[in-house]
Structure 1
């Protein structure tokens, strides 16, 4: 998997995204691999890494030490998240001496350095949230604590994003809310995760992938086309930045960017370029 990751990084690097986020392992060697990946991207590539940081399983002091180390090594972008418990389905329980939520984490990170901080947003609301309005209120707390932007959970029906934006603007949230786009590599896996996370999987999407389990090339073409149509509809409504969930795989992201007119740096048709 590490070889796959670095192969993907090298293949996507010429597209020059504004940043590349690295997800976080909350414990032991997993956390150390995350840190090593972030610093290696910073040292060995032209990309700007954004290190995920969660509140899970660490005291405030431990989290602050991690953030100080990132700052000292030149990492300036952080994705601040509450995080989920290591056991699937386990109710969230903050560390007794830790940050209780992402808003507190944002505020703590800003005290350590002037990080460029992204936080999570949920167009179809977080599965543990009491309501869509509670999600908006929580997002506002994170923004008020100092976050520079939000990145959404992936969605397939773009109307969910538009309705969420209406609510966010009504609440006075003015920072960019970047839509998360997930090109579907494995429909069965995505459907299972989506059901557990409260994400709508439209019938039309299931119909498109029906019968493609053993036809990977056709499945990739369908996946890239679906993601491109999402981006184009969002673009037509004024969206100019997208966060693509690559899942450490380059091919679908390369295909999606090609459809959208995004080419390796220096080869882009400026008339068709979408901000990556």
Structure 2
């Protein structure tokens, strides 16, 4: 191995950030097997001292109940800061206030407020995420995160309208925005600059999705208006029946994204774990995060 190669390798390794903060998203399980998978992931990732862990919230009552149970278990069984997602689709103001009271009494002080997915064929709702933020802030002094869309929300009229809606959410009381996952780093950085230009002062945290299955990604990225770059397709080409290599590729892409974004001054990153810890843990380890002792 030449001295020049060793020097380049050491320089590359030295470029990895060592001061990043992370948070993780999970979803409520719908089977006993998935319960085990979820808690194995929580146990593995909690040692990395995330700023918080969030739990998604569905549009039907059974999914919502599962979210509440997972949040309560996280509060009671771990020292993690639990952040429940809360949507306002098909939910009255009275119901929202009741949920907010229950969470506040449980010790929850941070909520991720979302409009929620519209059922197919449903008319436009009477309440949007900015109204939800305002309702929650009036009820209790929560920290509130909201969603941001670097490549524009699929229901938005255009990018400017989407940006102004984010501004309304922040003006209503949100103090953090977590982005939809993306792969076009330039698109995210342009979005961040546009947020500053319209007076959005809340921190914009990039959402990172470690990809283990490219075909599944393509299926759900389209409806979310997430662009799949041609280079990403080439990275996964020929790996349809090779999950181990797909995982290595997915980890490499996420690590490169975080490294570039860190150079742009970003320190906080939100990982969409899909309830699997392996890829996210490997990425965080490479980025310099190490387990801490947790007695609970």
Residue equivalent to 2:157: 130
Give yes or no for the alignment of 1:171 onto 2:204: no
1:265 CA displacement = 2.1
Residue equivalent to 1:183: 210
- The TM-score with structure 2 as length reference comes to 0.86
Residue equivalent to 2:93: 60
Task: Give the 5 Å matches for 1:100-111.
Answer: 100-111=127-138
Q: Is the 8 A contact 1:38 1:51 kept in 2?
A: yes
| Cα distance in 2, alignment partners of residues 124 and 32 from structure 1 | 31
| Cα distance in 2, alignment partners of residues 63 and 220 from structure 1 | 39
**Helix, strand or coil at the partner of 2:268:** coil
1:64 CA displacement = 1.1
Give yes or no for the alignment of 1:233 onto 2:260: yes
Deviations 1:35-80 (A, max 9, x none): 0100110110111110000011111111111111000111111000
Aligned residue pairs total 260
**Helix, strand or coil at the partner of 2:223:** helix
1:198 CA displacement = 1.2
Q: Is the 8 A contact 1:84 1:92 kept in 2?
A: no
Select the residue among 207, 217, 232 that pairs with 1:205. 232
Give yes or no for the alignment of 1:69 onto 2:102: yes
Higher relative contact order (CA 8 A, sep 6+): 2
**Helix, strand or coil at the partner of 2:47:** helix
- The TM-score with structure 1 as length reference comes to 0.92
**Helix, strand or coil at the partner of 1:24:** coil
Residue equivalent to 2:74: 41
Residue equivalent to 2:145: 118
| Cα distance in 2, alignment partners of residues 136 and 7 from structure 1 | 38
Q: Is the 8 A contact 1:119 1:142 kept in 2?
A: yes
Which aligned runs of 4 or more in structure 1 are off by greater than 3 angstroms? Answer: 90-93
Residue equivalent to 2:15: none
The alignment yields a C-alpha RMSD, in angstroms, of 1.1
Provide structure 2 residue ranges, at least 5 long, that are not aligned to the other structure.
Answer: 1-33
Give yes or no for the alignment of 1:260 onto 2:287: yes
| Cα distance in 2, alignment partners of residues 187 and 201 from structure 1 | 10
1:217 CA displacement = 1.0
Provide structure 1 residue ranges, at least 5 long, that are not aligned to the other structure.
Answer: 267-276
1:92 CA displacement = 5.2
| Cα distance in 1, alignment partners of residues 185 and 51 from structure 2 | 23
Select the residue among 274, 277, 281 that pairs with 1:250. 277
Give yes or no for the alignment of 1:94 onto 2:125: yes
Q: Is the 8 A contact 2:183 2:227 kept in 1?
A: yes
Deviations 1:181-220 (A, max 9, x none): 0000211111111111111100110110111121111110
**Helix, strand or coil at the partner of 2:180:** strand
Q: Which moved more, 1:233-242 or 1:185-194?
A: 185-194
| Cα distance in 2, alignment partners of residues 196 and 30 from structure 1 | 22
| Cα distance in 1, alignment partners of residues 137 and 212 from structure 2 | 36
1:172 CA displacement = 0.7
Residue equivalent to 1:21: 54
Larger Rg computed on CA atoms? 2
